[in-house]
Amino acid sequence: MQPDVASLLAFLARVRRRLALRAAIDGAAVGAAVAIIFAIANWPSRGATVSAVAALAAAVVVGIVVAILVTANRRRQVATVIEGRVPASRNLIATAAELSTKEARGSVPELVFGRAARLVDQTDPAAIVPTLGAAVVAAAAFATWLLVAARSVLPVPAALRGVSTAGASAEAGIQSVDVTVVPPTYTGRAAQTLRDPSRVTVLGGSALSLVVRATGEIVTMETLAPQDTLAKKGSAFAGKLVADADGYIALQAHRGDRASARRLIGLTVLPDSLPHVRVVTPGRDERFPDSHRTLSLTVEANDDIGLASLTMRYTKVSGSGERFTFVEGQVPLAVTKSGDRAWTARATWSLESLGLEPGDMVVYRAIAADRRPNGGSAESDSYIAEILAAGGVAAPGFAADVEEERYAVSQQMVIVKTERLIARRATMPPAEFADQSAQLAAEQRKVRAEFVFMLGGELADAPDVAASMTDINEEEEAGRESDILAGYNANAGHVALIRGIRSMSRAAASLDTTDPTAALPHERAALDQLERAFSHSRILLRALASREKLDLSRRLTGSLTDAIGDSRPVAEPTQSSESVTLRRILSDVSALGDSATRPGDRVRVHGDSALGALAERALRVDPSSPVLQEVSADLARAATAVSARRTEDAAAGLDQASRGIVRILRRELPRAPTRTVDVEGRRMKGALVDAIGVSKP
Amino acid sequence: MTRGSAVRLACRLIAATIALGAIIDPAVTSARPSKRVVFVTTADSARDRRLEDAVVNALQRKFVVARSPMAGSSATVVVGDKLPTSSDDTPTPAFVVVADSNQAGVEIDRVEAPSTATLDERIPVRALVSARASAGRSVEVTLRAGGAVVDRVTSRVRSDSTLSLPLSFVPVALGPVALRISASLGGTESSDVADAMLNVVDKRRSVLFYDPRPSWMSTFVRRALERDPQFVVTSRVVTSRNISTNTGQPPATLVDAATLGTFDAVVVGAPSALSYADVGGLEAFMRRRGGSVIFLLDDPAPGPFERLTRTSAWSSSRGTPGVFALARDDSTTLRAGDVVVPATVPAAATIIAGGRKAVVWENAVGAGRLIVSGARDAWQFRDAGSSTFDRFWRTLIADAAATAPPPLIVETNPALAKPGETVGLRATLRDVALSADAASTTGTVHASVTATLEPGTRVRMWPEGNIGQFSGVVRAPRQPGVYRFTVAGGGRTAEMPLIVSADARTDAPVSRAVSTAWATSRGGRLFQVRDIAKLSTALDAAMEQRSERTTWHPFRAAWWIVPFVLVLSAEWWLRRRNGLR
């Protein structure tokens, strides 16, 4: 073959190859564009990387193949393409190409070949068929596909994610939740923001602000309180609440009659604890022969957030019997503050300054308050410094409860405190007034208990283990009232004591209902009766009656003319509502456990929303229970796993939740008997016992 | 003919013969040794699959291995620790192959769980698990009900031993529940599964409190039970002559056996005040009804009740209150300072609480139980801080009431069966079975029982050796599901569920000794998997060599092509060597 012809043919081949490359690049770009459309439409599956890449690869390959096939004819007429791109050729290359196919010989063809060869030597195939632009376009298409396919993990607006926020056919859903926690001002703590929390632990009284990004028309917020609707602000929904008790926040987006899955956020509220305060020194009761004494006092106080004050109060008690006088005061303390949360105070207290006489005592205690606006204060143990009288012991007639407050309480003191409480009523918040009234009622009951035990009486049966030993059975006491009226108790001192005890009961009942004004007359009546009782020292001895034994031989010997039997219905025990609810939740978890972990969109949708509802129900039973909080979290995790088709994680979450619920129910239910019914075995044993018939040594 | 040509001719003749033989394909009948069939089976294919495959691989070269019963099987190899329940499908000799004893493994020996319970109880389930070569590993036992995990216990193995692991189940609905207990050994693939069936019924235990005179102890025990939903409490407190305080519809006296028989347990406060007639009624309640009676002593005075307690000498003590724990649950306690105990413990009596002191004890009276409590002032220490007074009495009386047999007792074995498995049914007529105790003269007893496996399979019930007991067998339905036995007899009807499941696991493993004895009795041996190479030889020796006349085609073997090609090739070579074409 002539060199010129070879050169021409080689040039034509290079151009042909570039045309094929260009077609492939164009085909790949078109394929990438098609893949972009697929990715926008979330085809073949949403969020599945492998499927998306496979779809891209397939589209690109198809595009390349189609492009090459479509441009095949063009490559066959490559000389025409070159003529179109190289005007200087003037049909030279086309002629040479045609001649080369016919094996032409002669001077003319040689001339044509020669000139064509010189022309192609000067021509660059890249200039005839540029591919750079096409490659840039293809690269841009690939980059665009990449962005579209990965948009679910990128912080792009929801509109670019292929989910229309305004379209009527779009599903309602919650994308993210921001919770900003603002602690109470007095704590001095900074606010913090949490993104998509599963549980929020806050201090009591904190303000929570929620910003919910969701697709939907409205977003509802449900807590233990009634449901609320969040206000729409731009593309988000906002709401506020104050955290004052354990519970939960359930958010749900709605569009028309469609609702999204509920987003459950557990809420744990930590109460602001009361301060701890104690009297370190002397730390015990002191008894002195005279009042020329000095007490070195050391007090320690701490609080979880911050202390506001630390003081020492005292009550000087003078007198005896029921004729006591009380003077209150405050001991000046030198307070050393090592930070906001721990304080120390010292004082050197001269008892002589109080003017104590033999037989007098002073009861003192430290009081610490934290920074809560409505005052959270705590008292230390109370201690006594007593000036002993000759041969004296602790004065009688006081209720000295060693388990609780160790200061002397008498009926006279109860009256004084009641009068003071009534006087301060106008300046006190109702909650504090009620609390103080309840404390006075407890003190009244303690005094009453002393006299009841003095009489050798017993309190009525109190099946409620939470009931105090000083609780009274009003019906029983009312029944005994008739005994007094009937004159059965001929002992006047005894009668006076009983009447005094009755009056104390009425006073305590009035104080319990936050009515100290009504209680005061009963308290004074009780004091009057006590003074009458103790003025009869001889009768006092008879008042200390011992319990009598029943004489069984006298039983069934009386007249039964007016006696009748009694018939009562069978007692129906009350079921614990919590147990019933938890059992239902356990049953639903077991039923869902099988269906929710099976594949299938329909089951998946029902499974995750049902599990979310169960998580909420579990938390509603007792939001403060750590076990139920964990159960709720497990169910919420299982719901998330079901919707993401992670069946193993869903099964594990359901198992954890089941075991948590069973752990709670196990504590409340009695153990089932395990013995089996074995008639024959028991017959044999009975026959053996009958045959033996003797006692073993 | 030269030598070469003769050789060539011979080659051609041989090739022709082979070709002719292949064309004619003659059939030859002769006695030949046949490959014997060995049946390889396992009771737990899921667990012992690998072991089974190893056995099959070891045997299939020498034997024909069948994995299902096959007519003509000459031997059986049982794989695993569970033996077949029926000998019908196990031709002899029979060998057993088990896992190596030095290979770490875990097995569930037994599952203890009540067969019936109520909705207001937690069900104790105990799994007895054997761990082998597993020192230092952990055993995890999981309890599932209806597929959901309800409890899980993990225990560390110190040495080869049997672990007793307690689990709990809380029923959530009435009806039969399939419980599955699975055990796995940490760090290995060894695991085991066992199933049990629990029937949750809507039944409250009926208890009668009878106080011939008011009693503190009885009052507070009664209140403890009244607050518990598992009991229905009826009471009668005789406060004076012909005057009583009743709760519900109690019998007027304890002599009325028919009314008394409707209760599961009778609690008597102040038993010293019982009359002879009352005591007779209680004795009949125990002997003929199988019921339980609880005496709450509060007075050491003698009385007719001592005929039932079988002791008339008592020893009282009053001092510092002591704590007495239930013998089988030391967390359930009673506190008392004033205690009366029998001077000598009656024969065969069992102490329930008090340790070595018979503070609360029981004895058998016929088929019934008599429980006697001498903790006279325990009611004074009933607050939760002093003792578990309420729980003590609820546990004790629930146990006593649970053991009182119902009028018609129905049992199935197993309660959970595979499709087609044989299920045994037993029915006991309580009144008939216990009537023999009260009968003073011999006679005949007439009774009949009918049983149906719903929807309509009649089960023939045959009387057993014991009076009042009947038994029958039936095949479990092919279709898995929950079925119900309905049994009628003595004017009563009782039902018992049957769960049919394809993967039911109710067979308990047997010890190596039992497996060895089983195999030996069938002309075989027990092999561990490390000796599996010897199994084939042992089978060969144990099985009879069989030869049978069979027709065979000698020329159907493909190997004939080799000599055919060889002789033709030789003939061609010889021809070419001799210069022939």
pLDDT at A462: 36
pLDDT at A64: 93
Burial class (CB in 10 A: 0-12, 13-18, 19+), A353: exposed
Chain B CB contacts of A658 below 8 Å: 148-150
Q: How many domains does chain B have?
A: 5
pLDDT at A331: 92
pLDDT at A48: 63
pLDDT at A492: 64
Chain B CB contacts of A672 below 8 Å: 114, 117-118, 121-124, 398, 402
Q: Give the nearest partner residue to A658 out of B148, B229, B347, using CB atoms.
A: B148
**How does residue A647 score in pLDDT terms, banded at 50, 70 and 90?**
confident
Whether the pLDDT of residue B206 is over 70: the answer is yes
The residue in chain A having the minimum alpha-carbon distance to the alpha carbon of residue B143 is A659
The mean pLDDT of B443-461, rounded to a whole number, is 80
Whether the pLDDT of residue A601 is over 50: the answer is no
The mean pLDDT of A316-335, rounded to a whole number, is 83
Interface contact A669-B122, CB threshold 8 A: yes
> What three-state secondary structure class fits A690?
helix
The mean pLDDT of A628-644, rounded to a whole number, is 86
**DSSP label of B56:** H
**How does residue A345 score in pLDDT terms, banded at 50, 70 and 90?**
very high
Measured in angstroms, the CA of B120 and the nearest CA of chain A are apart by 6
A339 CB within 8 Å of a chain B CB: no
Cα separation, A662 vs A650, in Å, equals 18
Measured in angstroms, the CA of A696 and the nearest CA of chain B are apart by 5
Please indicate, yes or no, whether residues B159 and B230 belong to a single structural domain of this protein: no
Interface contact A570-B247, CB threshold 8 A: yes
pLDDT at A154: 54
A662 CB within 8 Å of a chain B CB: yes
pLDDT at A539: 36
pLDDT averaged over chain A? 80
Closest CA to B312 of B344, B282, B334, B287: B344
Q: Give the nearest partner residue to B347 out of A672, A680, A695, using CB atoms.
A: A695
Please indicate, yes or no, whether residues B466 and B532 belong to a single structural domain of this protein: no
Range of the domain at B118: 105-201
CB pairs under 8 A between A and B: 194
pLDDT averaged over chain B? 87
Please indicate, yes or no, whether residues B377 and B270 belong to a single structural domain of this protein: yes
Whether the pLDDT of residue A162 is over 70: the answer is no
Measured in angstroms, the CA of A648 and the nearest CA of chain B are apart by 13
The residue in chain A having the minimum alpha-carbon distance to the alpha carbon of residue B239 is A565
Interface contact A584-B399, CB threshold 8 A: no
pLDDT at B278: 94
The answer to whether the beta carbons of residues B182 and B195 sit under 8 Å apart is no
pLDDT at A598: 53
The mean pLDDT of B459-468, rounded to a whole number, is 85
Whether the pLDDT of residue A686 is over 60: the answer is yes
A555 CB within 8 Å of a chain B CB: yes
pLDDT at A461: 39
Please indicate, yes or no, whether residues B260 and B359 belong to a single structural domain of this protein: yes
Scored b (16 or more CB within 10 A) or e, B266-286 reads bbbbbbbbbeeebbbbbbbbb
The mean pLDDT of B438-464, rounded to a whole number, is 76
Measured in angstroms, the CA of A578 and the nearest CA of chain B are apart by 13
Whether the pLDDT of residue A559 is over 80: the answer is no
Please indicate, yes or no, whether residues B118 and B149 belong to a single structural domain of this protein: yes
Residue B477 lies in a domain: yes
Chain B CB contacts of A687 below 8 Å: 366, 437
Residue B515 lies in a domain: no
The mean pLDDT of A283-305, rounded to a whole number, is 89
Whether the pLDDT of residue A491 is over 80: the answer is no
Interface contact B405-A658, CB threshold 8 A: no
Q: What CATH number does residue B212 fall under?
A: 3.40.50.880
**How does residue A403 score in pLDDT terms, banded at 50, 70 and 90?**
very low
Percent of chain A at pLDDT > 90 equals: 21
Kindly report each contact of residues B218-222 with a partner whose C-beta sits within 8 Å and lies 24 or more positions away, as own/partner.
B218/B267, B218/B268, B218/B269, B218/B270, B218/B296, B218/B298, B219/B269, B219/B379, B220/B379, B220/B382, B220/B389, B221/B267, B221/B269, B221/B296, B221/B379, B221/B393, B221/B397, B222/B267
For B246-257, the pLDDT digits (tens) are 999 999 889 988
Measured in angstroms, the CA of B298 and the nearest CA of chain A are apart by 13
Residue B573 lies in a domain: yes
pLDDT higher at A487 or A284? A284
Chain B CB contacts of A584 below 8 Å: 172
**How does residue A194 score in pLDDT terms, banded at 50, 70 and 90?**
very high
Cα separation, A504 vs B19, in Å, equals 128
Query: In 3-state terms, chain B is what percent helix, strand and coil (to 5)?
Result: 25, 40, 35
The answer to whether the beta carbons of residues B366 and B286 sit under 8 Å apart is yes
With both helix axes pointing from N to C terminus, report the angle between A647-668 and A601-621 in degrees, rounded to the nearest 10: 30
Residue B517 lies in a domain: no
Whether the pLDDT of residue A4 is over 90: the answer is no
**How does residue B283 score in pLDDT terms, banded at 50, 70 and 90?**
very high
The residue in chain A having the minimum alpha-carbon distance to the alpha carbon of residue B126 is A674
| Block residue for tokens 């009453």 | A448
Please indicate, yes or no, whether residues B209 and B317 belong to a single structural domain of this protein: yes
Cα separation, A215 vs A217, in Å, equals 7
For A536-554, the pLDDT digits (tens) are 443 333 333 445 566 777 7
pLDDT at A546: 47
Interface contact A686-B403, CB threshold 8 A: no
Interface contact B247-A569, CB threshold 8 A: yes
Closest CA to B8 of B579, B568, B581: B568
Scored b (16 or more CB within 10 A) or e, A26-48 reads bbbbbbbbbbbebbeebeeeeee
pLDDT at A128: 87
Residue B506 lies in a domain: no
With both helix axes pointing from N to C terminus, report the angle between B430-438 and B276-289 in degrees, rounded to the nearest 10: 130
Chain B CB contacts of A682 below 8 Å: 290, 364, 366-369, 403
Task: Out of B153, B168, B201, pick the residue that ends a domain.
Answer: B201
Whether the pLDDT of residue B44 is over 80: the answer is no
Please indicate, yes or no, whether residues B123 and B182 belong to a single structural domain of this protein: yes
Lowest mean pLDDT among A208-217, A544-553, B390-399, B450-459: A544-553
Chain B CB contacts of A463 below 8 Å: 223
The residue in chain B having the minimum alpha-carbon distance to the alpha carbon of residue A595 is B147
Cα separation, A269 vs A199, in Å, equals 11
**DSSP label of B470:** E
**How does residue A166 score in pLDDT terms, banded at 50, 70 and 90?**
very low
Please indicate, yes or no, whether residues B130 and B168 belong to a single structural domain of this protein: yes
A689 CB within 8 Å of a chain B CB: yes
Q: Give the nearest partner residue to B367 out of A662, A683, A694, using CB atoms.
A: A683
The residue in chain A having the minimum alpha-carbon distance to the alpha carbon of residue B379 is A461
Residue B553 lies in a domain: no
Q: What is the pTM of this model?
A: 0.61
Whether the pLDDT of residue A460 is over 50: the answer is no
Please indicate, yes or no, whether residues B440 and B572 belong to a single structural domain of this protein: no
Tell me the domains of chain A and their CATH numbers: 3-153 (no CATH), 162-270 (2.60.40.10), 279-401 (2.60.40.10), 409-546 (no CATH), 577-668 (1.20.120)
Chain B CB contacts of A697 below 8 Å: 344
pLDDT at A603: 43
The mean pLDDT of A467-482, rounded to a whole number, is 53
| Cis peptide upstream of residue B69 (ω within 30 degrees of 0) | no
The mean pLDDT of B496-517, rounded to a whole number, is 84
Whether the pLDDT of residue A468 is over 50: the answer is no
Residue B10 lies in a domain: yes
Whether the pLDDT of residue A161 is over 70: the answer is no
Chain B CB contacts of A561 below 8 Å: none
Q: What CATH number does residue B418 fall under?
A: 2.60.40.10
pLDDT higher at B8 or A461? B8
- Of the spans A257-261, A340-344, B454-458, which averages the highest pLDDT? A340-344
Burial class (CB in 10 A: 0-12, 13-18, 19+), A650: buried
Amino acid letter at A468? S
Amino acid letter at B414? P
Whether the pLDDT of residue B400 is over 90: the answer is yes
pLDDT at A165: 46
Please indicate, yes or no, whether residues B350 and B233 belong to a single structural domain of this protein: yes
Please indicate, yes or no, whether residues B191 and B136 belong to a single structural domain of this protein: yes
Interface contact A685-B395, CB threshold 8 A: no
A674 CB within 8 Å of a chain B CB: yes
Please indicate, yes or no, whether residues B319 and B356 belong to a single structural domain of this protein: yes
The mean pLDDT of B236-241, rounded to a whole number, is 89
The mean pLDDT of A260-285, rounded to a whole number, is 88
For A422-436, the pLDDT digits (tens) are 998 988 888 889 999
For A68-122, the pLDDT digits (tens) are 988 888 778 888 888 888 888 888 888 888 888 887 778 888 888 888 888 888 8
For B302-334, the pLDDT digits (tens) are 899 999 999 888 998 888 888 888 887 767 888
Lowest mean pLDDT among A532-546, A665-679, B8-22: A532-546
Q: Scan residues 161-220 of A and list those with Cβ closer than 8 Å to B.
A: none
Task: Out of B168, B201, B234, pick the residue that ends a domain.
Answer: B201
The mean pLDDT of B136-164, rounded to a whole number, is 86
Interface contact A570-B244, CB threshold 8 A: no
Residue B554 lies in a domain: no
pLDDT at B453: 86
Whether the pLDDT of residue A401 is over 60: the answer is no
Chain B CB contacts of A593 below 8 Å: 147-148
Q: Are strands A199-203 and A263-270 parallel, antiparallel or unpaired?
A: parallel
pLDDT at B89: 63
